[in-house]
């Protein structure tokens, strides 16, 4: 890891929580990177959503809990993502939404999750305004995947995801033009788009000046 990142490779979750609490107020950022801008027509009617950026407190170092979406979903099939979804009327707030969706999608009981902060709100190219809720996950949980939505759940070492050397870029052609995205590869998994942008945002919010 580069010396100027000020993020030790074995950064503990207690320190991550402290740095999140000291971070600047949350902003609104696009999932795309570079000079490209999302069209105004897309930004006029954004759908509120929330995801859980789950950090598992493993003895050997924190990991990040990710899912791979089912192959036959109408939106984002087969993509790696965080558990989450649209904020529903019964949700008290975005945190409640992220915890509810996570429990529904992968069966992670709320008693295993302690919310320790949030990231910048991320605007996706599909018209969602997503609040990433950062949660500390206590080991000892058992997952039960909703197979119609989630094909797999897996963990990636947080140190790997926070290493800027792994924050490569990719491009994708859309109806609005070709956009650049962050693109992180882990084993057979490709983590890109909004999910990768949120992981890079976690890096941005907890690194020291």
Given 3.40.50.1370, 3.40.50.11540, 3.90.79.10, 3.40.50.2020, which CATH number is that of 3-152+168-203?
A: 3.90.79.10
Is 110 strand, coil or helix? Answer: helix
Residue 64 dihedral angles phi and psi, to the nearest 5°: -110, 130
Q: pTM for the full model?
A: 0.91
With CA atoms as reference, report the closest residue to 204 among 120, 90, 148.
Answer: 120
At residue 104's C-alpha, the angle toward residues 101 and 109, to 5°, is 95
**Nearest-angstrom CA–CA distance, 201 and 198:** 5
Q: How many residues belong to the chain?
A: 209
pLDDT tens by residue, the chain, 209 residues: 344 455 666 679 999 999 999 999 999 999 988 877 777 777 888 999 999 999 999 999 999 999 999 877 767 677 999 999 999 999 999 999 999 999 999 999 999 999 999 999 999 988 899 999 999 999 999 999 998 999 999 999 999 999 999 999 998 877 667 889 999 999 999 999 999 999 999 999 998 66
**Nearest-angstrom CA–CA distance, 54 and 206:** 15
Enter the tokens of residue 136: 């500390």
With CA atoms as reference, report the closest residue to 179 among 42, 5, 28.
Answer: 42
Enter the tokens of residue 48: 């509120």
The answer for residues whose C-beta is within 8 angstroms of residue 129's C-beta and 6 or more apart is: 28, 46, 47, 48, 49, 121, 122, 123
Are 70 and 109 within 8 A, CB to CB?
A: no
Task: Please state at what angle helix 13-22 crosses helix 193-206, rounded to 10 degrees.
Answer: 80
Are 70 and 150 within 8 A, CB to CB?
A: yes
């Amino acid at each position: 890891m580069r010396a100027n990142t000020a993020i030790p490779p074995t950064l503990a979750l207690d320190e991550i929580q402290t740095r999140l609490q000291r971070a600047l107020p949350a902003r609104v950022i696009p999932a795309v990177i570079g000079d490209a801008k999302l069209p105004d027509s897309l930004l006029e009617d954004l759908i509120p959503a929330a995801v859980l950026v789950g950090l598992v407190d493993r003895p050997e170092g924190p990991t990040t809990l990710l899912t791979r979406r089912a192959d036959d979903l109408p939106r984002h099939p087969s993509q790696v993502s965080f558990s989450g979804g649209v904020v529903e009327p019964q949700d008290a707030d975005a945190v409640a939404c992220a915890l509810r969706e996570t429990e529904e999608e992968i069966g992670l009981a709320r008693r295993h999750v302690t919310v320790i902060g949030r990231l910048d709100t991320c605007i996706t190219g599909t018209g969602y305004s997503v609040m990433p809720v950062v949660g500390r996950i206590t080991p000892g949980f058992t997952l039960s995947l909703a197979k119609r939505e989630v094909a797999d759940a897996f963990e990636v070492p947080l140190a790997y995801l926070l290493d800027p050397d792994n924050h490569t870029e990719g491009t994708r052609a859309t109806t609005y033009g070709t956009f650049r995205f962050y693109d992180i590869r882990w084993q057979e998994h490709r983590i890109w788009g909004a999910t990768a942008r949120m992981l890079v945002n976690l890096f941005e919010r907890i690194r020291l000046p």
